[in-house]
Amino acid sequence: MIIVTGGAGFIGSNLIHELNRIGENEIFCVDNLSTNSAKFLNLQNAIFCDYMDKTEFRRAIGSNALSAKRIRAILHQGACSNTLEDNGAYMMDNNFTYSKELLHYALQYHIPFVYASTAAVYGLSKRFTPIPENERPLNIYGFSKLVFDNYVRRLLPTIESTVVGLRYFNVYGPREQHKGRMASVMHHFSQQLKENGVIRMFQGSGGYGDGEQRRDFVYVRDLCRMNLFFAGLGDDAFRSTMGRAQETYQGVFNAGTGASRSFNDVAKALMQIHAKGKAKGKIEYIPFPNDLAGRYQHFTEADTTMLQQQGGYTRPFTTLEDGIAETFATA
């Protein structure tokens, strides 16, 4: 059995669908549908053997009520990812304490544990190597993830089983419509284009020209494959392409392509997809909001050296154009 927390969310639901693609159906889905029941739509046509609410799951873990011998891996995607959330106690309970509880359960039974971290730990840093001097989060979300990363780092010398943190950069792909304001720019730009033919993005800021702010956009299916690799899941052919035979992995790695692209690039790719013989649409540049000054990442680009050299993950990433085409193939 494979546990996927946050299983009805954006990345978690894509993970379950990816597991189904490789023939894995014994999946234990954990989530919280009390505040956003629309997430269930992400699990349409997905196959999983059981579901449990997050609160009940935490109690089950704490009381050892689950059959640990059946658990092959834990893919921990469950967290509060709202960067605008300012309730620190709520954020730390969801992103730190919950993760810590699950980590120690995995360590107790030597279960591979792969969890979601975030590039938000870097804040306004211009360097994205996963080392402490580059880590300066701007919000409680990034802070909560960094605190857990550092907790894992302190334990790593004593850990014998797989424990891997993946710092997701700017993720996009299918099944993120429920995220509202927290959805990717691909999702928002696509909606704008379909509604009125105009994509709105910020004027020049942070030393970048109009729409030339750059992010490391990573396709969600690539992140799913990365999770499966570190958890030891997937067939031998898939794993042999990595040139790595070892069975355990430890570390906190960047999960990005290593190549930033501009918002203008995103808009152009979307206009190609949604054109369908009509006018391609246009771009409108709007003033940069004053309330984002000092709190906005104008540039992100994952340093993937540690991912490749220490983690052994060398699979090529999907290009921006191909990822957008696949995401909106039926749009």
Give the active site residues.
141, 179
Widest CA span in the chain: 60
Helices H / strands E in the chain, number of each: 11, 13
**Is the separation of the CB atoms in 217 and 300 below 8 Å?**
no
Q: Which two tokens stand for residue 222?
A: 């690539």
- The angle formed by the CA atoms of residues 39, 264 and 194, to the nearest 5 degrees, is 50
What DSSP designation does 95 have? I
Distances (CA, A) of 106 to 103, 115, 214: 5, 11, 37
How does DSSP classify residue 35? S
3-state secondary structure 130-169: CCHHHCCCCCHHHHHHHHHHHHHHHHHHHCCCCEEEEEEC
Phi, psi of 206 (to 5 degrees): 60, 25
Q: How far apart are CA 118 and CA 168, in angstroms?
A: 5
Fill in the amino acid letter for 52: M
